[in-house]
Structure 1
């Protein structure tokens, strides 16, 4: 790869590229709102034109059970690996609108940051992969690897249609590795390759007592209070240090190597600064694990909300008829969401107080994901970052969940490389979302370099 030639190419076309990206960002492709259904198709059609302009082939819009998906490829690198690039063109709703400093679908550049909904998550990062492929085709007339692109429109609503699509098109999507840019860097100027994500399992607990709310003076002390009952159930889930008390919860947790833990320790995480940023005085959790390890490699059980009784102004002396709570667990390899939900249900049943009935409903499931951090495809990404940013690359896990990543891993059985260029401070999912253009510029060069690195992978 001629790095200087690529550098000149992107410098000369930076203005044009930003104009193109801004036109993409003007499309209000909010997947969760039916009023934007036409905008979703408009965004998919925009991608078709962008892929065709870049020189990619077999470009098409595929219908799914929901919003359309865009596919493109270039398959002329005989004997070379095939890289499948995944991204999404849908974005989050923009509420609350009054907190935006500029309209969310009218992109603006301020202080070398591009402000718009989708700038960082994920239109900006997806766009970079298209422009990197275009650059190499323009400069060399070919790509160093075979490439396939799959850009969906339902990531922000949980990718309900994508697993079935991938399963149905498994042969057409066959690749040697999968690259996704929908994660973040370790910090400004600090690149990171993410190789692991936590999974997710959630339930709702509904506790019912008397047939209607009761006067607490007439019946308090003689009738079980559903709020007290649900508090008792919830309290039974964890001990005072956050260790989960559900029988068998930790049985399938994959141990983490000393080498990985040493890598985490080397990241120089500033706990005191983190506490200051979060507005807390003490951290919490399993004593034998660090803050980073608790959020990356350990499973959790968190109460997300409790409802029941009277919560208005003043007081109402009522014994409520029912109460409910939502709970989610973040899971780590090799925990299975269905198994964890079954264990949660068994725990609730065994800890249910007398005098109430309990119903449990399931929601939000996703398997954890892990590519060994010493995998050649992961290490190659680290080298590309280091060449462009001039600093060592961090190899990290993430505490969050991207269910489709685990689906790719399970269905296609290929390594997934999470090469993110966003920053945690960029307000994705919040007002004033933005993308640091320094990382847009460097990211284009990193992606180009990685395609050459990937060409040597076996």
Structure 2
């Protein structure tokens, strides 16, 4: 059972909470675009004020070498566990803008969903934790556990400055468990606790040919075309079935245990329904694995964008002199991002087309993460979901990457609980991002229940 007291509070304040969330979502806190630097400050300031209003203490905005971090705490539960809640207030760019049905920073509610950039990833979920704390403090005057908030503004660009911040503030961030709501549920009515995430390694390949674009009639067939060169190079990375052809790429991949494969099979994931939902003629991926195994426990190499040449209306008969591509790899335990980037560079060098110069730039990196799912903090999260959703919780891995998770594990040495409320269908990182308000409503109650349930443990019982 979840608390009737909290249930009443959330019901009575729902309209106010949604209005506040719409304010938060209206701030275009896009961390990757320099023109939004002031909006990043506004996002941090809005969040800090919301924390103060909720009753959190020691609220502050800490500057980093990039965008600011927001910290707050409430530490008046002696002998009880301390939870460090992590999230991010930055969001992805919104392009292509013409595909949005409503303006991305004018949050709109329709069909019991809230549509806006950041609604699901991750402003909506961070906001829920703040409101759960507010409900407990206003209804009971105290929290059942100690809590610290660490909300950053650079997750969408790989958290380049957060490792240093955590190292410098290691003592201030000391806790017994880290809770992150930046993952998803298994389905609309199927809650899930995520116990593993894939890592990330990204590169950009730039191809340079002649001194400038050339007339295809005068030079075609005699000078290398940069676009043909990049296409030839990109085609070498995977075979037609999706198996990655980079030498040594699979060397350190930790294989799935039979227990995990059985657990994933027991979820009875409907691959046909997914195909129909995505409107694709067939699913695709590495042979010998189910869809869930491919997206949770196998590494990937994906071309995220290709650029070069003429793409305007009509035709322009030129040989482009420059072209490029952006590639990201999702990594699994025990792959190392630096090693993978080195192997990608070696592959580019070995497969470099004739007649052009090729350079490789490094981008986002993040290590994969996995933790035992029988840890009491993780099992308690599952029990809290079940108290509200009234169905068994699934224990899953996540296909995405949260680079700071592995850093938290290494720097702070704490168990990490990934309890999210988003759905894979909610278009985060794409036009028309949205968040199902049914999960917003239930999620508030799950979080409140989790904080209450965690109070039964001593800090020693939560040690890894």
Q: Give the TM-score normalised by the residue count of structure 2.
A: 0.88
Q: Secondary structure at the match of 2:404?
A: helix
> What residue in structure 2 maps to residue 371 of structure 1?
371
Q: Measure how far apart 1:128 and its partner are.
A: 1.2
Q: Matched residues in 1 for 2:311 and 2:96: separation?
A: 24
* Alignment partner, residue 62 of structure 1: 62
Could you tell me how far apart the structure 1 residues matched to 2:182 and 2:36 are? 22
Q: 1:204 to 1:96 in 2, by over 3 A?
A: closer
In the TM superposition, 1:230-379 aligns within 5 A as 230-308=230-308, 320-379=320-379
Corresponding residue SS for 2:13: helix
Deviations 1:181-230 (A, max 9, x none): 12222221111112222112122333444555566677666655555544
Give the unaligned 5+ runs of structure 1: none
**1:90 to partner: Cα distance:** 2.8
Please give the alpha-carbon distance, in whole angstroms, between the structure 2 residues aligned to 1:52 and 1:443: 22
Q: How does 1:48-447 map to 2 (within 5 A)?
A: 48-95=48-95, 100-211=100-211, 226-308=226-308, 320-447=320-447
Query: How many Å apart are 1:335 and its aligned residue?
Result: 0.8
- TM-aligned CA distance change 1:292 to 1:414, over 3 Å: same
Inter-partner Cα distance in structure 2 for 1:402 and 1:216 = 45
Distance in 1 separating the partners of 2:379 and 2:185: 16
Q: Once structures 1 and 2 are overlaid, which stretch shifts more, 20-29 or 138-147? A: 20-29
Q: Deviations over 1:399-435 (max 9, x none)?
A: 2222222222232222221211122333334444332
Higher deviation after alignment, 208-217 or 160-169: 208-217
In structure 2, the residue matched to 1:3 is 3
Alignment CA distance shift 1:100-1:451 (3 Å) = same
Residues 307-363 of structure 1 show CA distances to partners (whole Å, capped at 9, x for unaligned) of 455556666665554543332211111111110111111222223345444322222
In 2 relative to 1, CA 432–350 (structure 1 residues): closer, same or farther, beyond 3 Å?
A: closer
Distance 1:275 1:205 in 2: 31
Q: How far apart, CA to CA, are the structure 1 residues paired with 2:343 and 2:222?
A: 32
Question: Residue 261 of structure 1: CA displacement?
Answer: 1.3
How far is the alpha carbon of 1:303 from its aligned partner? 2.6
Distance 1:158 1:6 in 2: 36
Q: Which runs of 5+ in 2 are unaligned?
A: none
Distance 1:345 1:2, change over 3 A: closer
Cα distance, 1:438 vs structure 2: 1.6
Instruction: Map residues 29-44 of structure 1 onto 2, 5 A cutoff.
Output: 29-44=29-44
Per the normalisation by structure 1, the TM-score is 0.89
Q: Secondary structure at the match of 1:60?
A: strand
Q: Secondary structure at the match of 1:201?
A: strand
Moved more, 434-443 or 24-33: 24-33
- Structure 1 299/105 Cα, relative in aligned 2: closer, same or farther at 3 Å? closer
Cα RMSD over matched residues? 2.8
- Between the two proteins, the alignment pairs up a number of residues equal to 458
Distance (whole Å) between structure 1 residues aligned to residue 46 and residue 227 of structure 2: 52
Shift of residue 289, structure 1, vs aligned partner = 0.7
Q: Secondary structure at the residue paired with 1:44? A: helix
Partner-residue secondary structure (3-state), 2:245: coil
The 1:70–1:326 alpha-carbon spacing in structure 2 relative to 1, beyond 3 Å, is: closer
Name the stretch that deviates more: 68-77 or 274-283. 274-283
- Deviation of 1:72 after TM superposition, in Å, equals 0.9
How far did residue 11 of structure 1 move? 2.4
Measured in 2, the distance between the counterparts of 1:417 and 1:380 equals 10
1:156 deviates by 3.1
Contact kept in structure 1, 2:157 and 2:364, CA below 8 Å: no
Partner Cα distance (2:344, 2:269) in 1: 33
Which stretch shifts more, 24-33 or 58-67?
24-33
Change (3 A) 1:231 1:62: closer
Partner of 1:22: 22
Q: 1:141 to 1:310 in 2, by over 3 A?
A: closer
Distance in 1 separating the partners of 2:36 and 2:225: 44
SS at match of 1:204: strand
Q: CA deviation at 1:119?
A: 2.8
Deviations 1:267-326 (CA, angstroms, capped at 9, x unpaired): 221111222222322322222111111111111122334445555666666555454333
